[in-house]
């Protein structure tokens, strides 16, 4: 047999796609592929795509356009589209871009090796089903290779909430939680391979309700996310636990309590609200209002006063008036976000809001600029306030300057420290000395 075939995966979109790409690379490892970090020498290219906004989806076609010369120079090269665009557009991709050999939706990744064999034989392959079996059971077992200090772990996938603007319920399917025993086993395996921080992933991760492990005390109902986090916290060598993304309506009392008393659960919460206007929230089908969100934030801060809150906003949702936008600005002022993502509304085919009249794009653009200016100011104020404080930092990689190491604080701030002898995977106490636009600098404190 000739040398291993090479697989190049390009990942767009959210953290779940990052996790899925890792699992696809492992599954393809079983089919004789090793990963390469450039498309130039690849035998197969997989684009793991995102459909959330029009721009994200269009990127796929421009990337495929750029790959034409590669395919012309190497007719054996196979090109696949995975992820949410694959799910949403299916065989339309094969029609629009005939050089694509394979289209695979997010719930069918365990079938990739079989699909690869088909395209090697000269056929095209399309799979966008939502099969009943658990893809994670069928994906190849993780090889025991060492890993970096941080990892993602998907525990819940899909969404039943159907916000009026959002494609996720269609691209990822119905909400499904993985059994707690399987999550714990995967976490132990990651820790054995060097991981010290795990971020639990789900489109609505706090709605997690996974089957309880059988081994312990028999079936005792589903586990909540809080219960899962407490069990994970008992794993020796796992030092930090995070989770994302949460929905305000699934922020249960036991999860809020865990923020107060579970030391390994980091003081950071991504809790998108999308808008501060009750009228717009209703039109978005969010099923919560601005006041209930603010009260929820208060309760979370009562449990963990230093928690850093992050969020997502959409401006220019159909029907949004200047008064609605003023409500959003007022909510942001009240919350004080440490981190935030904000987007101009993008109409997505197949979603209820896509039928409604758009806000003038210039007006929406102007609102986005005003919102982002406020969010950036808050973010910077909260980051600047870290100067002089002592934080824990998990070092992930060498910094830009010689002798520097970079990592993340418990509040997820990027921190760099110049100290000889620091290594990747070290978790150390650091005093923050400086705040730059996107990172903090600090010095080690003797333990
Ligand atoms: N499950 C998460 C978010 C998923 S999508 C949640 O419920 O909060 C990530 C973010 O993209 C959303 O929070 C929203 O702010 C943004 N987004 C989703 N659909 C969008 C659209 N059609 N136009 C603009 N932004 C959108
Ligand atoms: Fe999309 Fe709403 Fe589900 Fe989040 S909760 S994934 S925004 S439909
Ligand atoms: Fe994008 Fe799909 Fe994630 S649409 S944001 S890759 S769930």
- In this structure, the answer to whether residues 22 and 107 fall within a common structural domain is yes
Bridge partners of residue 312, in order along the sequence: 341
Residue 52 alpha carbon, nearest atom of ligand 1: 19
Q: Does any ligand 2 atom lie closer than 6 A to the CB of residue 162?
A: yes
Same domain, 114 and 173: no
Closest ligand 2 atom to the C-alpha of 286?
2
- Spell 91-107 as b/e; 16+ CB within 10 A means b: eebbeebeebbbbbbbb
Of the listed ligands, the closest to the CA of 47 is 3
Long-range contacts of 205-208 (CB under 8 A, 24+ apart): 205/155, 205/156, 205/243, 205/244, 205/245, 205/246, 206/243, 206/246, 206/247, 206/250, 206/251, 206/252, 206/255, 207/156, 207/175, 207/177, 207/247, 207/250, 208/155, 208/156, 208/177
Of 246, 333, 255, the residue nearest 290 (C-alpha)? 333
Domain boundary among 127, 149, 170: 127
Rounded distance from Cα 250 to ligand 1 centre (Å): 17
Ligand nearest to the CA of 273: 1
Cα(134) to centroid(ligand 2), Å: 22
Dist. CA 241–CA 279, nearest whole Å: 36
- pLDDT at residue 1, as a whole number: 43
User: Looking at the CA of 203, which ligand is closest?
Assistant: 1
- Site to probe by mutation for ligand 3, drawn from 12, 13, 109, 245 as the one with most ligand atoms within 8 Å of Cβ, is 13
Is 247 near ligand 2, meaning CB less than 6 Å away? yes
What confidence tens digit (pLDDT) does each residue in 217-239 have?
A: 555 689 999 999 999 999 999 99
Tell whether 303 is covered by a domain. Answer: no
Nearest atom, ligand 1, residue 270 CA: 8
Q: How far apart are CA 317 and CA 278, in angstroms?
A: 13
Q: Give the Å distance between the CA of 95 and the centre of ligand 3.
A: 23
Interval between CA 312 and ligand 3 midpoint (Å): 14
Q: Are 159 and 119 members of one domain?
A: no
| pTM, 2 dp | 0.96
Whether residue 110 sits in one domain with residue 223: no
User: What is residue 318's predicted lDDT score, i.e. its pLDDT?
Assistant: 98
What is the domain count for the chain?
A: 3
Q: Tell me whether residue 247 is in a domain.
A: yes
- Same domain for 11 and 112, yes or no, is yes
**Do residue 214 and residue 255 come from a single domain?**
yes
**Residues 100 and 195 both lie in one domain:** no
Q: How many residues does the chain have?
A: 447
Ligand closest to Cα of 154 equals 3
Residue 93 included in any domain: yes
**CATH number, domain with residue 120:** 3.40.50.12160
- Write the CB contacts of 279 (distance below 8 Å, at least 6 apart in sequence): 319, 324
CATH number of the domain that residue 197 is part of: 3.30.750.210
Residue 158 lies in a domain: yes
Q: How many CB atoms lie within 10 A of CB 322?
A: 8
Ligand 2 atom at minimal distance to the Cα of residue 172: 6
Nearest atom, ligand 2, residue 166 CA: 1
- Evaluate whether 275 touches 328 at the Cβ level (below 8 Å): yes
Query: Residue 360: inside a domain, yes or no?
Result: no
Is 400:425 a contact under the CB 8 Å cutoff? no
Q: Which pLDDT value is given to residue 156?
A: 97
CA of 170 to the centre of ligand 3 (A): 11
User: Rounded to the nearest whole angstrom, what is the distance from the C-alpha of residue 331 to the centroid of ligand 3?
Assistant: 26
User: 């990337």: which residue's tokens?
Assistant: 63
Is the C-beta atom of 168 inside 6 A of ligand 2? yes
Q: How far is the CA of 251 from the centre of ligand 1 (A)?
A: 18
DSSP H helices in 33-111: 54-66, 68-73, 83-89, 91-96
Per-residue confidence in pLDDT tens, the chain, 447 aa: 457 999 999 999 999 999 999 999 988 998 899 999 999 999 999 999 999 999 999 999 999 999 999 999 999 999 999 999 999 999 999 999 999 999 999 999 999 999 999 999 998 899 999 887 778 877 766 666 889 999 999 999 999 999 999 999 999 999 999 999 999 999 999 999 999 999 999 999 999 999 999 755 555 689 999 999 999 999 999 999 999 999 999 999 999 999 999 999 999 999 999 999 999 999 999 999 999 999 999 999 999 999 999 999 999 999 999 999 999 999 999 999 999 999 999 999 999 999 999 999 999 999 999 999 999 999 999 999 999 999 999 999 999 888 999 999 999 999 999 988 899 999 999 999 999 999 999 999 976
CA of 294 to the centre of ligand 2 (A): 19
Same domain membership, residue 60 and residue 148? no
Q: Give pLDDT, residue 406.
A: 97
Q: What is the pLDDT of residue 141?
A: 61
Give distance in angstroms: CA of 406 to centre of ligand 2: 33
- Which of 127, 160, 181 terminates a domain? The answer is 127
Q: Check whether residue 121 and residue 151 sit in a common domain.
A: no
Is 285 a member of any domain? no
Domain end, chosen from 80, 99, 127, is at 127
Which domain, by its residues, includes 424?
A: 390-444
CA dihedral sign, ordered 345, 349, 350, 352 = positive
Same domain, 148 and 255: yes
In a domain, 123, yes or no: yes
Which residues does ligand 1 sit against, CB inside 6 Å? 52-53, 165-166, 168, 203-204, 245, 247, 272, 274, 312, 314, 343, 345-346, 348
Q: Are residues 15 and 52 in the same domain?
A: yes
Domain co-membership, 111 together with 171:
no
375 is a domain residue? no
Paired residues of 390 in beta bridges: 431
Q: How far is the CA of 305 from the centre of ligand 3 (A)?
A: 31
**What distance in Å separates the CA atoms of residue 136 and residue 178, rounded to the nearest whole number?**
9
Token pair in block for residue 81:
């589209």
């Amino acid at each position: 047999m000739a040398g291993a075939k090479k697989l190049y995966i390009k990942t767009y979109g959210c953290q779940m796609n990052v996790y899925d790409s890792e699992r696809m690379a492992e599954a393809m490892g079983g089919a004789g592929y090793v990963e390469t970090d450039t498309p130039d020498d690849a035998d197969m290219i997989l684009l793991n795509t995102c459909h959330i906004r029009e721009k994200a989806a269009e990127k796929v076609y421009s990337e495929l356009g750029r790959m034409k010369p590669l395919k012309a120079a190497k007719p054996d090269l196979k090109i696949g589209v995975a992820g949410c665009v694959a799910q949403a557009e299916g065989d339309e991709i094969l029609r629009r871009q005939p050089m694509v050999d394979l289209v695979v939706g997010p719930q069918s990744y365990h079938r990739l090796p079989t699909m690869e064999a088909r395209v090697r034989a000269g056929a095209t392959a399309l799979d966008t089903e939502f099969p009943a079996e658990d893809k994670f059971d069928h994906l190849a077992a993780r090889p025991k290779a060492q890993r970096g200090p941080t990892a993602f772990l998907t525990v819940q996938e899909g969404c039943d909430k159907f916000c009026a603007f959002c494609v996720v319920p269609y691209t990822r399917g119905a909400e499904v939680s993985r059994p707690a025993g399987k999550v714990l086993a995967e976490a132990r395996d990651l820790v054995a391979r060097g991981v010290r921080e795990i971020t639990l992933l789900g489109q609505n991760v706090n709605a997690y309700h996974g089957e309880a492990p059988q081994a312990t005390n028999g079936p005792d109902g589903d586990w909540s996310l809080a219960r899962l986090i407490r069990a994970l916290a008992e794993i020796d060598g796992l030092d930090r636990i995070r989770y994302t993304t949460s929905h305000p309506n699934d922020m249960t009392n036991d999860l809020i309590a865990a923020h107060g008393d579970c030391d390994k659960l980091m003081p950071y919460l991504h809790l998108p609200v999308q808008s501060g206007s009750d009228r717009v929230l209703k039109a978005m089908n969010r099923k919560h209002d601005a006041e209930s969100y603010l009260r929820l934030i208060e309760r979370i801060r009562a449990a963990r006063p230093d928690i850093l809150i992050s969020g997502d906003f959409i401006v220019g949702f159909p029907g949004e008036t200047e008064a609605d936008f003023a409500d959003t600005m007022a909510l942001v002022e009240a919350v004080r976000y440490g981190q935030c993502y904000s987007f101009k509304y993008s109409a997505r085919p197949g979603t209820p809001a896509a039928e409604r009249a758009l806000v003038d794009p210039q007006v929406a653009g102007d609102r986005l600029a005003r919102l982002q200016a406020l969010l950036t100011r808050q973010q910077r104020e909260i980051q600047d306030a870290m100067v002089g404080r002592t934080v824990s930092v998990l070092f992930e990689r060498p910094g830009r300057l010689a002798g520097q190491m970079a990592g993340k604080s418990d509040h997820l701030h990027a921190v760099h420290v110049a100290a000889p002898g620091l290594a990747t995977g070290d978790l150390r106490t650091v005093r923050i000395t400086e705040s730059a636009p996107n990172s903090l600098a600090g010095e080690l404190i003797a333990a």
